[in-house]
């Protein structure tokens, strides 16, 4: 049984100027009625699609609360890194011809250490993923990689920082929407009076708990163009 979690006071949205796209800035929803959204990612995304309170399901429910019925195409696989996501992009996303794809990638590239993916090949993999999607007519939203432990000073988060800086720059360069979830997560953990022993938004420092899934979904919905009243309606629908 999940306890009800209210995130409104926990975090602020940190979206780089000029990156979220003209539609989102103007308050117009980027996702249209009947469109499909592929959610590419790792275990966080896999769980986000499988669990009723996972962020993928919350995004779809939040869009519905805003009057837009969209369909999710789950494409998260536990443990996957940028090279593996690139290798399966055609099979898991492009062949299904979605209108949108959200890309959540970077945690395992850093977290897996020597078995991870260094920054330069990561940049190449992510750029290729975005370019292949855009060439196929799939619109892309880039999600910055969430924290590895809820401690911003952790060496893994320090190592992750340039990966996220690259994602922000790439989103701007390729005119992708950006949900800066890492910034949202850092803001939430920094502001919280009770940090819950490093489990404010995660159950183990990495994988999201209900509050973390709401944080991710809220950031994505805002990047899609939902205003604060629509976000509030989304949260109400989640509670119901």
Q: List residues bridging with 37 in a β-sheet.
A: 72, 100
State residue 233 phi and psi, 5-degree precision.
-65, -35
- Find the distance separating the first CA and the last CA of the chain, reported in whole Å: 14
pLDDT band at residue 28 under the 50/70/90 scheme = confident
State residue 47 phi and psi, 5-degree precision.
-65, -35
d(CA 43, CA 220): 17
d(CA 68, CA 46): 23
Confidence check: pLDDT of 26 > 60:
no
pLDDT band at residue 109 under the 50/70/90 scheme = very high
Q: What tokens appear for 49 in the block?
A: 């699609």
pTM above 0.75, yes or no: yes
Query: pLDDT of 160-216, one tens digit each?
Result: 999 999 999 999 999 999 999 999 999 999 999 999 999 999 999 999 999 999 999
Q: Check if the beta carbon of residue 140 is closer than 8 Å to that of residue 130.
A: yes
d(CA 129, CA 115): 20
Q: How far does Cα 186 stand from its chain's mean position?
A: 14
Q: From residue 125, give the alpha-carbon distance in Å to each of 41, 81, 84, 88, 136.
A: 13, 10, 9, 12, 17
DSSP-assigned letter for residue 224: T
Exposed, middle or buried: residue 223 (CB in 10 Å: 0-12, 13-18, 19+)? buried
Query: pLDDT of 51-71, one tens digit each?
Result: 999 999 999 999 999 999 999
In order of start, what are the domains of the chain with their CATH numbers?
32-239 (3.40.50.1110)
Confidence check: pLDDT of 6 > 80:
no
């Amino acid at each position: 049984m999940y306890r009800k979690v209210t995130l409104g006071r926990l975090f602020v949205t940190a979206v780089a100027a000029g990156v979220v796209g003209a539609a989102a800035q103007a308050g117009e929803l980027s996702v249209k009625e009947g469109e499909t959204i592929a959610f590419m990612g790792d275990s966080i995304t896999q769980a986000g699609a499988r669990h009723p309170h996972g962020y993928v399901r919350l995004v779809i429910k939040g869009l519905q609360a805003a009057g837009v019925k969209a369909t999710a195409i789950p494409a998260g696989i536990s443990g996957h890194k940028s090279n593996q996501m690139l290798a399966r992009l055609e099979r898991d996303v492009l062949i299904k011809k979605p209108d949108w794809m959200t890309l959540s990638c970077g945690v395992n590239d850093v977290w897996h250490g020597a078995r991870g993916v260094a920054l330069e090949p990561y940049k190449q993999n992510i750029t290729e993923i975005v370019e292949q999607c855009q060439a196929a007519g799939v619109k892309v939203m880039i999600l910055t990689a969430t924290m590895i432990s809820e401690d911003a000073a952790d060496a893994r988060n320090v190592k992750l920082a340039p990966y996220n800086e690259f994602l922000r720059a790439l989103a701007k360069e390729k005119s992708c929407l950006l949900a800066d979830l890492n910034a949202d997560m850092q803001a939430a953990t920094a502001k919280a009076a009770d940090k819950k022993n490093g489990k404010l938004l995660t159950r183990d420092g990495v994988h999201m708990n209900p509050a973390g899934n709401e944080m991710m979904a809220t950031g994505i919905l805002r990047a899609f163009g939902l205003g604060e009243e629509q976000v509030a309606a989304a949260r109400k629908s989640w509670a119901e």
